[in-house]
Structures are given as C-alpha cells and as structure tokens.
Amino acid sequence: MTKIALFASGNGSNAQAIIDAIERKELHAQVALIVCDRQEAYVKKRAEASGIEVFSFEAKSFNGKDQYEKLILEKLREKEVEWLILAGYMRLIGTVLLTEFENKIVNIHPSLLPAFPGKDAVGQAMDYGVKVMGVTVHYVDAGMDTGPIIAQQAFSVKEQMNLDHIQKQIHRIEHQLYPKTLQKLFKY
C-alpha cells in the first residue's frame, strides 16, 4: 500500500476527501502523516478525528525554507512516506523536498491551469469573466502551479452562478477527481 503525507494549511476538505476515499477502499493508500503550517488550521482536527499524526510547524520560527523542510523530511523518512499530496498547502515546495520526492509530489488547483495560477484562482477567473472553470491535478515543480498537468475537469459557468455556487462546484469536482487521479498514479 502506498504511504502518503498530506500537506494542508486550512480547512482540509481535500485531505478529508482523500481520507474518506481510503476508508471506502476507492484509494489504496495510507496517510502516514499530515503536515500543516498553521496552528489554527481545521485540518488538524480532521486528522485527530481520523487518528492520523500531524506534524505542525510555523515557518517564521525557522531561518528559511531549507531549515523547516529538512525537519519535515526527517519525519517523512521516519514514516516511510512515498508520495507528498498537497491539499490546500499554501507554501511553495522547496529544493529539499523537490529533490527527495522528484515526480512524487502532486497538487490540486481550482482552475484550468495554466490559466489563473496562484492564490484566489476562482476570484481571478470570475474577474476575467470566464465561461468555463475547473480543477487541475498536477505534479509539483519549483514554480507556482507550473508542473506538468496530470488531470483536469471543467464545468460551464452559468449566469446565475455566484461565488458560493462556483466554489461548491469546484469542491465537488476536487473531492472526486483528486482521489481517482491519485489511485491511477499509485498503480504505477
């Protein structure tokens, strides 16, 4: 069974969708660790409810990304983690983890990349007035949402859809697409 670490910074709904898919036996993996960079993040409560260990840190307590990533790497090695799965993790992955987990770090993003990378992709897309939005699962590289695309799913934006409707549709897609895509990756 593939051992994964989930990286999250906030609510953790994508992390929960992955945990739920594992429990339903739709995703053959084990969450060995959740890595979280925010003390108040709700994902930590989700982890506790599922009996998953959390490694939590505050980036400002370290002298740079390399220092905290080396500490994360120690925990990942200790848990024999094979893949890093970003699920709402709001930091760029640095050289330490990119080198150790080359082609084994995956992210989900709420836009049809390469359009609207970075923060507030939904807001960016709405401001632009797009008629089609969607979700992208991609490999992580040193850039912001620039890694090779693995899977995408789109939907039409209807006139009556407001931000709340759009975000709910994106979450529905994310919570289905991410576990299915990961299952395909882990078969190889």
Domain boundaries, the chain: 2-186
Please check whether residue 187 is in contact with residue 29, taking contact to mean a CB–CB distance below 8 angstroms. Answer: no
Percent of the chain at pLDDT > 90 equals 97
- Judge whether 63 and 56 are in contact, CB under 8 Å: no
pTM of the predicted model as reported, rounded to 2 decimal places? 0.95
Cis status of the peptide bond prior to 179, with omega within 30 of 0: no
Residue 110 CA to residue 165 CA, distance in Å, equals 14
pLDDT tens by residue, 16-54: 999 999 999 999 999 999 999 999 999 999 999 999 999
Mind telling me the catalytic residues?
Answer: 109
The CATH number of the domain covering residues in 2-186: 3.40.50.170
- Average the pLDDT over 44-66 and give the result: 95
User: What is the enclosing helix (H) or strand (E) of 49?
Assistant: helix 43-50
Average pLDDT on 71-80 reads 98
